[in-house]
Amino acid sequence: MMDQAVRREPSEIEGREAGAVGPASRRRGKALETAIFEAALDQLTSGGFARMTMEGIAGAAQTGKAALYRRWASKADLIIDALGSTLPPPTEVPDLGSVRSELLQLIQGYGAVMESPVGAAMRALMAELDIERTRDFQEFLNERVIRPATAATLGVLRRGELRGDVRPGAATGLVADVAPAMLLYRAKVCAGAVDPEFCVALVDEVLLPMVRP
């Protein structure tokens, strides 16, 4: 019996010690990573960041806790990777002939993401962020959310300026910051839906009056 125990694979021992059972404990690579990310985002959405634990994520993913700590030092690191793997990449808005059409497509695209499962997880996270936790996620939010949104908005405004439906000099970084700032305010402070109606109002009542000739 002692020899048999010695010959077991370390992964099998870790899985049993951590409570992993059945075939799911034998998942490896991308399949295991996907299960962990899904479990992490589901727990973030349903219970919030403060209440989620590495143990809970491991149990929901049906794997051992050691499998998580081999790759992520903390739940913040895990959430950053889970969100990063699920968020769609930034996309360019095509020339639609008018700044209103382009802004609507851009803002409604962000609204659709924020109302999706990964968006719900992001909103749950942002609703809890305080000054201390913001430091953990600031770089990720800047690189994957704020900067791409600002850059895309600025690109639309600059194209509109050349076309003539944006006032000369209105295509600035400060003006472009308004759209992502409003979306984040809606998600973090107001906890309101970023639905199509809100997106249209943001374009027609806020952005266009700021930039029209």
Summarised one tens digit per residue, pLDDT across range 141-160 is 889 888 999 999 999 999 99
Q: What is the CA radius of gyration of the chain?
A: 22
For the chain, the domains span: 10-78, 87-211
Can you list the alpha helix ranges (DSSP code H) found in the chain? 2-7, 10-17, 29-47, 54-61, 65-69, 75-86, 99-114, 117-128, 131-141, 147-163, 173-176, 178-185, 196-201, 208-211
CA distance 213 to 13: 69
Domain 87-211: assigned CATH number: 1.10.357.10
Which candidate, 213, 155, 206, 156, places its Cα nearest to that of 181?
206
Answer whether 140's CB lies under 8 Å from 83's CB.
Answer: yes
Answer whether 63's CB lies under 8 Å from 102's CB.
Answer: no
Q: Is 1.10.10.60 the CATH number for 10-78?
A: yes
User: What are the tens digits of pLDDT across the range 38-74?
Assistant: 999 999 999 999 899 999 999 999 999 999 999 999 9
Which candidate, 69, 88, 65, places its Cα nearest to that of 78?
69
Calculate the CA 129 to chain-centre distance.
14
Mean pLDDT value of segment 80-108: 93
Least confident of 116-120, 184-188, 200-204: 184-188
CA distance 56 to 46: 12
User: What are the tens digits of pLDDT across the range 26-40?
Assistant: 566 789 999 999 999
Are 10-78 and 87-211 the same fold in CATH? no
Question: Helix (H, G, I), strand (E, B), or coil: what is residue 191?
Answer: coil
Residue 144 identity (one-letter amino acid): R
Question: Helix (H, G, I), strand (E, B), or coil: what is residue 86?
Answer: helix
pLDDT value of position 11 = 42
pLDDT value of position 13 = 31
Give this prediction's pTM: 0.77
Phi-psi region of 171 (alpha: psi -120 to 50; beta: other; left: phi over 0): beta
pLDDT value of position 4 = 43
User: What are the tens digits of pLDDT across the range 193-208?
Assistant: 788 899 999 999 999 9
User: What are the tens digits of pLDDT across the range 120-130?
Assistant: 898 888 877 77
